[in-house]
Amino acid sequence: MDHAEQLTDQPNDQQDDQQGKQNAPVVFSLPEQVMPDMWLTDYDSLFYNDMDGYWEPPVDRHLLANLTRRNAQHGGIVVSRANMAAGRYISGGMSAQQVQAAFLNLVQFGDVALLKIRNGFKQPVRLFPLPSYRTRAAGDGGAVVLERNNQVRKYKARDIIWIKQYDPVQQVYGCPDYLGGLQATLLNEDATLFRRKYYINGAHMGFIMYATDPNLDPEVEDDIKEKIQDSKGVGNFRSLFVNIPNGKEKGLQIIPVGNFESKDEFMNVKNVSAQDVLNAHRFPPGLSGIIPSNTAGLGDPTKYDAMYFKNETKPLIKNMVDAVEQDPEIGSKLKLKFDLEPAA
């Protein structure tokens, strides 16, 4: 009798276990912080590196360097702004290529240090832009360039001309003027990566397989679960054939989680974040390569170019010209000359 009761209880235990698995809760990931890297742009003072004798930059330079590769609008505009300024260069203490590099550093990182190259008589004969990514402001006003194997190269203050975009919080470094669009730049990237993952993931995580037919063989059910769980990667998800003898209509259904084509906000996120990036740079859409969404177009690009030169490019050029001219060692041959007249 005891043996009979034990045999009777075993299926119930299995049934309870199976019921427990079916009723197991679905656990979602914890919510992400909106600004987990807020410390990268939120500062009110600088840290001085006593060991190497320089101030740590207020904004992570690796972030600023990497940002241009993570967003098409931001990366293109940074280069375009540098090219607009460098294209006006006439003559001076740098080559055209070096002037373009100097403006790219200035726009992307908010500052650039120009090194005075001297001859045998200690006289400046030309200027050279140091890479802002690895250049730090020394405690005496000079520059420290970070090199391989934790080595540094130091330059005295008399050999350096600093050019900065003004930062009201601190005056050791400059501050990029586009930081207000940082979150929009990252959001644009997040939307693109989400879309890519949707296609790369073979299962797409886009449906729920809903089974209510009691005639479904448990072994077939386990096989279906295994195939779905293993369906990761391109092309790994295969169509399934399920045979349920005497099965009920709609006993096995595929329920989409969401219609990606009609309900996805991909285009809205991309368009709004791209507009925010343009606003952060004050860059006209007519010069950014954006395809107009209406038949009226984006207006006359030559007019936009003239206005942008007047309000943005010209002040950027004059900032560099003035910094070089204010150095007492710079003679007329090394002074930077640009064409500051409006385009015809």
Distance CA 71, CA 170 (A): 28
271 membership: H or E segment, kind and range? helix 266-281
Radius of gyration (Cα) for the chain, nearest Å? Answer: 31
Model confidence pLDDT, tens digit, residues 120-168: 999 999 999 999 999 999 999 999 999 998 899 999 999 999 999 999 9
List all residues 6 or more positions away from 79 whose beta carbon is below 8 Å from its beta carbon. 68, 104
Q: Which two tokens stand for residue 274?
A: 């791209």
Q: Residue 303: its pLDDT value, please?
A: 87
Given a cut of 70, is residue 255 above it in pLDDT? no
More confident residue, 11 or 89: 89
Q: Domain spans of the chain?
A: 38-186+307-338, 207-256
Distance CA 84, CA 92 (A): 17
List all residues 6 or more positions away from 147 whose beta carbon is below 8 Å from its beta carbon. 134, 153
Nearest alpha-carbon partner for 204 in 228, 187, 225 = 228
Distance CA 99, CA 135 (A): 17
Q: Output DSSP code: residue 286.
A: G
Q: Residue 7: its pLDDT value, please?
A: 45
Given a cut of 90, is residue 197 above it in pLDDT? no
Contact in structure between 134 and 53 (CB atoms under 8 Å): no
Cα 207 → chain centroid: 31
Band (102; pLDDT cuts 50, 70, 90): very high
Residue 63: count of CB within 10 angstroms of its CB: 14
Q: Residue 280: its pLDDT value, please?
A: 93
In this prediction the pTM is 0.75
As a whole number, the mean pLDDT across the chain is: 82
Model confidence pLDDT, tens digit, residues 310-333: 999 999 999 999 999 999 999 999
Residue 319: count of CB within 10 angstroms of its CB: 16
Please, what's the b/e burial string for 168-187 (b: 16 or more CB within 10 A of its CB; e: otherwise)? eeeebbbbbbbbebbbbbbb
Given a cut of 80, is residue 111 above it in pLDDT? yes
